[in-house]
Chain A
Amino acid sequence: METLSNLAFGLGVALSWQNVLYCFIGCFLGTLVGVLPGIGPVATVAMLLPFTFGLGPAPALIMLAGIYYGAQYGGSTTAILVNIPGESSSVVTTLDGHQMARRGRAGPALGIAAIGSFVAGCIATLLIAYFAPPLAELALKFSPAEYFSLMVFGLIAAVVLARGSLIKAIAMVCFGILLGLIGTDVNSGVIRFAFGQAELADGVGFVALAMAFFGITDVVLNLEHKEVQQVFTSRIGSVLPTLADLRTCFWSIVRGTALGSLLGVLPGGGALLASFAAYMAEKKIAKPPRTFGEGDIRGVAAPESANNAGAQTSFIPMLTLGIPSNPTMALMIGALMIQGIAPGPQVMTERPELFWGLIASMWVGNLMLLVLNLPLVGVWIKLLAVPYRLLFPAIFVFCCIGAYAVDNKVFDVYALAALSALGYVLLKLDCEPAPMVLGFILGPMMEENLRRAMMISFGDPTVLITRPISAGFLFAALALLIAIALPALRAKREEAMQE
């Protein structure tokens, strides 16, 4: 009951005209960048971060959150109509969605993607409302020892769940940790690896890093191949799926939502992993006749529900533990800190208007997205015709402004340039930037907490295993390591990634 009254309170916050406006801006921008291949929510959130300085914390977070889950809606449009994933998390939607478009069923594909996303979004909102508070209560019991073990678990999960080569994922995590070590050590005050540059005393700017790896590098890669794509814009027809479609998809949407919600909570998870997992599960579980890969509508419904559910539940660890499960969430933490709010379990009790307002705004946002994406789908399709020679330079300019505006430092623009070059080389070597960014964020926090735990215990390392929560995380991390080391399971993982 208390949850319901909290949600009602949150709805009151979310429905203030200012918050509705920013929620709409967020959802609109999210759909926009979702539709446009090349720019994702991370780059968009990074670019908009400086503009949230002047807003209050609630409208700022509501807008940024809207971008993230809005992009999950928009990404499917491009995937279905053009066979390019507008977002990395809509990669699997291309498989069946585009086939449906080829068979003249683009409308129902778009429709079921939006409806699935909406259902998933609503359920995920409820899940956050019910499960975030007990998680936060638990998190207040977290001392540095627990935080350290949680981060060990998060980093190992990031490696295990990363796409592609395991060795490369480990290398990237380590590289991220090394980059994260640049700057002032919290525990001793020593400035490390700054080479006498005052600008580096606080470390490499995260916004510059995120924009380099997810914004500029993507654009450069897109410039490389000039793909001629067939856009199925002429015969979309009705976007309303038939009753038979809905009946077929009902359980797919439910399963996608459940899987997506679960994976979203895990560190290293979020929308991307959720959509892959949901598609693979659907291939195995769905009732015959199965025509996956040839335009099975369940192949659109499940991953699209999953990625939206995952996008929303990934807010749980961010809001309650202050731990980012993916790069977008890391930016959200940055946004909170800019507002002078230390992320962590106390956010919920000290800033209930922010916490419940944000959760309630997700409902409002999902409703807006349904309207934005179903009746107005034609408008978005037109956007796919914007020439890249206009779009790409604009992205570059926004990234430079964004990097500069964080601390008013020209140095960060140079850092952006250098990191972009680095990011391009790494992507060419098939090294995923996501594990690196997680290493960059979690590594220094892990060190800080380990050393603090040691200082509090006066150098006794057994605190890590005598405290039950800490021991639990370490055990889970060990289990993951063993799982990945076993050849049978590894083969399974590779097989899964192949698909």
Chain B
Amino acid sequence: MAWLIVAFVVFCAAPAQAQNYPTKPIHILSPYAPGGISDIASRILGAKLTEAWGQQVVVENRPGGNGFIAMTAAAKAAPDGYTYVMATVGDVAINPALFKEMPYDVDRDLAPVAMVSDAPMVLAAHADAPFKSVAEVIAAAKAQPGRISVATPGNGSVNQIVLEWMALNTGTRFQHIPYKGGAPAAAALAGGDIPLGILASSSVAPHVKSGRIRVLAVTMGKRSRFNPEWPTLQEAGVSEVDASNWTALFAPKGTPAPVIDKLNGEVLKILTMPDVKERFAGGGVDTIPSSAAELDARVKQAAERFRAIVQKANIRPD
């Protein structure tokens, strides 16, 4: 009897032994509503993890409050390997620079697990806009600083960061017109309300096909594997600018290292499966298998860069 109790106590004290982990359903929190990239990434990953481990993986959408609700819940969750959060670049690298009072601290509260997806963004123009290239956009902005309107999916979005970054590095200013999400911003660009936009390539894709929107450049450091014909901003003469909308899996700080390693290994395996890659590619999104250390480095680098841009461009939500 005694050994049973001892076994039970040991079992409870170390609920996440890597060998038999997981022994109960796993929760992945998504800070965004169903349909967004964080949600889709969670669901694709969750379904494959359930298959691989025989434990149900539940995706919980906890949208709202700039992602604070889900991020805070993850930061405060028990570090037992049964709660994770599918954060985006905004949650871990932009909001900390943007908001004075943060309910969570990425470094202190969260442990990186694995990178998951990478969605390219583009600088795009309305078909009838007078801009045929990035150089013409910069020239126009220099001729009339602050008089060229650019649509983005919202205040504090990584898209806005790219816009300000572009302005800083070319010594110009733009008129930032934020929308409520990518779809309405893309519709405004397609309808010609706004001549320019910095949007996810998936948002502009249907309008590019119909000929209403023209892509001028991608915002990443290298060309997109889906549309290699689009130049990068750097090639077009805007130095340094390199950003995309990525998502990554994080655990509450204190989650046992063996558990994180096990999950990272499984995620790597899943992200290289052809059908998984295909599902992400359907939305114009790449998978980016990586180690936890690589994710950590990427978060730190992005946070530092974005903090500098936010300060220089004086972006403030309040």
Interface residues of A (CB under 8 A from B): 53, 140-144, 184, 186-191, 198-199, 201-202, 338-342, 344, 346, 349-350, 407-409, 448, 452, 455-456, 458
Contact = CB atoms under 8 A, between A and B. Distances in A.
Nearest to B69: A198
Contact of B68 (A141, A198, A409, A452): A198
B215 interface: no
B65 A140 contact: no
Interface stretch (B8-16, B56-64, B77-85, B298-306): B56-64
B62 A407 contact: yes
A338 B36 CA distance: 10
B181 A342 contact: yes
A342 B35 contact: no
8 contacts: A189-B155, A198-B65, A340-B34, A344-B184, A407-B33, A407-B64, A455-B177, A456-B175
Given A140-B191, A346-B190, A448-B180, A455 B69 contact: no
A339 B72 CA distance: 26
A346 B187 contact: yes
B314 to A, nearest CB: 13
B199 to A, nearest CB: 13
Contacts of B103: 198
B50 interface: no
Given A143-B191, A188-B155, A342 B65 contact: no
Nearest to A187: B178
A141 B190 CA distance: 10
Contacts of B21: none
Contacts of B147: 458
Given A199-B69, A344-B187, A455-B177, A191 B155 contact: no
Contacts of B62: 407-409
Given A187-B178, A201-B64, A455-B177, 11 more contacts: A140-B191, A187-B155, A188-B155, A189-B156, A189-B318, A201-B65, A202-B63, A340-B35, A344-B184, A344-B187, A407-B61
Contacts of A340: 34-36, 183
Contacts of A53: 34
Given A198-B103, A201-B68, A143 B193 contact: yes
A191 B154 contact: no
Tell me which of B34, B183, B210 has the highest count of chain A C-beta atoms within 10 A of its own C-beta: B183
Contacts of B69: 198-199, 409
Given A144-B193, A186-B155, A199 B187 contact: no
Contact of A199 (B33, B61, B64): B64
B130 interface: no
Main secondary structure of the interface of A (DSSP, over half): loop
Interface in B189-244: 190-191, 193-194, 206, 210
B206 A190 contact: no
B66 interface: yes
Interface string B18-62: 000000000000000111100000000000000000000000111
Which 10 pairs across A and B sit closest by C-beta, in order of nearness?
A189-B155, A340-B35, A342-B183, A198-B65, A189-B317, A201-B65, A143-B193, A202-B64, A198-B68, A186-B180
A191 B318 contact: yes
A456 B191 contact: no
A342 B318 CA distance: 28
Contacts of A455: 149, 175, 177
Nearest to A185: B155
B189 to A, nearest CB: 11
Contacts of B177: 452, 455-456
A408 B62 CA distance: 6
A448 B36 CA distance: 22
A452 B154 CA distance: 12
Contacts, number: 90
Nearest to A196: B101
Given A409-B62, A409-B69, A456 B178 contact: no
A407 B30 CA distance: 11
B222 to A, nearest CB: 28
B65 A141 contact: no
A338 B175 CA distance: 30
Contacts of A199: 64-65, 69
B187 A407 contact: no
A186 B318 contact: no
Contacts of B63: 202, 407
Contact of A186 (B60, B179, B190): B179
Contacts of A184: 66, 155
Contacts of B72: 198
A338 B33 contact: yes
B157 to A, nearest CB: 10
A186 B180 CA distance: 6
Nearest to B195: A456
A142 B184 CA distance: 12
B175 A408 contact: no
Contacts of A189: 154-156, 178, 317-318
Given A189-B178, A198-B65, A202-B65, A456 B317 contact: no
Nearest to A190: B318
Contacts of A458: 147, 175
A80 to B, nearest CB: 42
B247 to A, nearest CB: 16
A53 B36 CA distance: 13
Contacts of A448: 180
B315 to A, nearest CB: 9
B40 to A, nearest CB: 9
A199 B34 CA distance: 17
A186 B152 CA distance: 11
Nearest to A142: B191
Contacts of A187: 155, 178
B56 to A, nearest CB: 16
B285 to A, nearest CB: 14
Nearest to A198: B65
A338 B33 CA distance: 7
Nearest to B194: A456
A350 B206 contact: yes
Interface string B71-92: 0100000000000000000000
B99 to A, nearest CB: 10
B66 A201 contact: yes
A187 to B, nearest CB: 6
Nearest to B193: A143
